[in-house]
Amino acid sequence: MILTPAPLPPPLFSTTHHRVRQTTVYFNRKTNLLLPRTAVSVVVRDVDAFTESSGYLFELSSSEAESLTDYNISKIASIYRKKPLIVLRRLLQIGNTLGKWLAFRYLDSILERSDLMFEVRASQLRQILVKLGPAYIKIAQAISSRPDLIPPSYLNELSLLQDRISPFSTEVAFNTIEKELGSPLDQIFSEISPQPVAAASLGQVYQAKLRSSGQIVAVKVQRPGVQAAISLDILILRYLAGLIRRVGKFNTDLQAVVDEWASSLFREMDYVNEAKNGIKFKELYGNLKDVLVPAMYVDNTTRKVLTMQWVEGQKLSEVKDLYLVEIGVYCSFNQLLEYGFYHADPHPGNLLRTYDGKLAYLDFGMMGEFKQELRDGFIQACLHLVNKDYDALAKDFVTLGLLPATADKDQVTKALTGVFQNAVSKGVQNISFGDLSGNLGTTMYKFKFQIPSYFSLVIRSLAVLEGIAINNDPNYKVLGGTYPWIARKVLTDTSPQLRSSLQALLYEEGVFRIDRLESLLSESLRARTERALVKVEDNNSNVIIKQILSFTLTEKGAFVREILLQEFAKGLDALGLATFESLTYAASANLPFGPSPRSSISDEDMINLRNLLRLLHLLSGSQKIEDGVGDFSPYTNKRVKSEEVYLALNEVASIQDILPLLNVIPELPTDLQQQLIRLPFDLVGKLVSRVAARTIRRALL
């Protein structure tokens, strides 16, 4: 649904004239005022294409219609078991319309005129979907949000299904409003638009002014008969899903996926539920920078009529505003990974750029819930994917319900390495859903992957957002845009599960992987929503140092700060040993006799010394470690240790790289400066403990 007044496309419906008695309202089109009047006049009743083609689906008794307020496949089946002719007629209609279209497409290819007829067939498909109704329109809406997957002609046509569907009769709409709200229109609204300003698959929208407050509002009215039509279509789609699963031997429970989608669709048809969702969404995300969530008017809302704050703007997909795309990514991160309450239908018609430059969310009928353990599992999977830890990724897939617990983990790890290594090698900022899905199909089938019902809505939400972003930037990757927020959450979250994941990620077989900490910190610095900082100046080391200190010195950075202090203590301990050994070696070199002193520095000490240098470079804002130092690997030590020690001491002795750190300290807030002053005392305590432990250990050995 989009709430911007815009002309509707040429109607796909027939018009017939009926003489009716208007007893409710009269429009003065010059003033747009709503005036009571009783008169007999000739009016035009618009019969939309869906009603004209599929109106027979509405023929349910009041008791049957009431029983379909919530999704219950048993009730739906019991109703239509008594109406075999309607089911048969619907099957014939679907088969006939789609079958003809597919036949024409095949004929086009035979006659080599596919390119010539491309736009014609795209328009025909849109008209077919409109005639078939909301269930098929909803499927098309999801597809139409992917410009990287859909040809332009089809994309242009299917995008009209997002908010430009032919409306149903305004007379019917106004009668519905009066019946649902229990009052004449002129007692509720002082003004209301004579025609809908937008029409979508489930309802259409009018602009109105509340008589009680003068507030401009959007009034959404549900299409008559949608529940009956959707119920039958879901019954058919569910049967086909089961058939496809059996014939294709799919591991995923396709009927459960249909059930999950159908449940969300039924919740979307309850406007009271949508109003509650909108209120909750506003409470959770309405205070985010440059995010607008409209207010809901629950006193003027029922199951079939929704009244909400009027919002004006342009579709986000129609404007080039990468900043708002980033805001959308940040908001989606909060929805999926912070609170777990997310907008499951973010197609372009539901995302607006307001005229004052904010991102407005509309239409809260289809929402999803992401449980805490699944959110943590998703974050861990992203971490392990980016860090190429495919063994851990296989375990994450079990946690997320994508893999059965009985799967051979070693074989899965090998398969995932083959599938993802090329995509991940491009860097996190260049990973797209298309890359990840490259050869995953074969692997999913081989290892009995299954798509949990909840996961389909999550992936759809992210895929649609990436589709919108691609309109602004063809090279944009939503995972690359989201990962900085994932990195920041992993570094700051207090949940035991994520802290355990961070610990395991940074310490591989007991060895500190500073490269992974550097990656997480550098990625977390990209997590920003300020308009002026969409692009960070890579060469501004002072900004980088200040951001790192501002993070590590806060309460949220306490866990990482403790790790850094521990590694600094290890490094300084190794530095002391290296210095002592260097002096001893220099002294013994001047002696005319005697054997050369034996090195007491272990491989672990060398690793700690290298990590100290990396940490100093990190805190000095240096983007590149000098050749000869940065190429040290914790797992290979091919150089002579004395040469290594010499190089390391030269690096540490250089005070030049530390100067930017000293320059930034006065710029920090007072409380962070006080925290920084306490760090040396904490560091000395850890260093003394380590030296004492080393001394005791050597004395005993």
320 φ, ψ (degrees, to nearest 5): -95, 90
Q: How far apart are CA 260 and CA 669, in angstroms?
A: 49
DSSP class of residue 339?
I
Listed residue (6, 646, 624, 576) closest to 312, CA to CA: 6
Contact indicator for 337, 486 with CB cutoff of 8 Å: yes
Contact indicator for 115, 210 with CB cutoff of 8 Å: no
CA 29, 33, 36 angle in degrees (round to 5)? Answer: 105
Listed residue (259, 239, 185, 194) closest to 5, CA to CA: 194
167 φ, ψ (degrees, to nearest 5): -80, 160
Q: How far apart are CA 480 and CA 322, in angstroms?
A: 14
> Angle, to 10 degrees, between the axis of helix 73-81 and the axis of helix 84-110?
100
Residue appearing with tokens 């074989």: 411
Contact indicator for 144, 347 with CB cutoff of 8 Å: yes
> From its phi and psi, is residue 352 left (phi > 0), alpha (psi between -120 and 50) or beta?
beta
Contact indicator for 237, 258 with CB cutoff of 8 Å: yes
Active site residue 408: no
Give residues with Cβ within 8 angstroms of 260, minimum separation 6: 453, 454, 456, 457
Q: 48, 345, 389, 605: which is the annotated catalytic residue?
A: 345
Helix (H, G, I), strand (E, B), or coil: what is residue 170? helix
190 φ, ψ (degrees, to nearest 5): -85, -25
Q: Determine how β-strand 359-361 pairs with β-strand 291-292.
A: parallel
Q: How far apart are CA 514 and CA 649, in angstroms?
A: 19
- Report the 3 state secondary structure along 409-458: HHHHHHHHHHHHHHHHCCCHHHCCHHHHCCCHHHHHHHCCCCCCHHHHHH
Q: How far apart are CA 103 and CA 172, in angstroms?
A: 37
Burial class (CB in 10 A: 0-12, 13-18, 19+), 513: middle
**DSSP string covering 643-676, please?**
HHHHHHHHHHH--GGGHHHHHHGGGS-HHHHHHH
Residues that are catalytic: 345
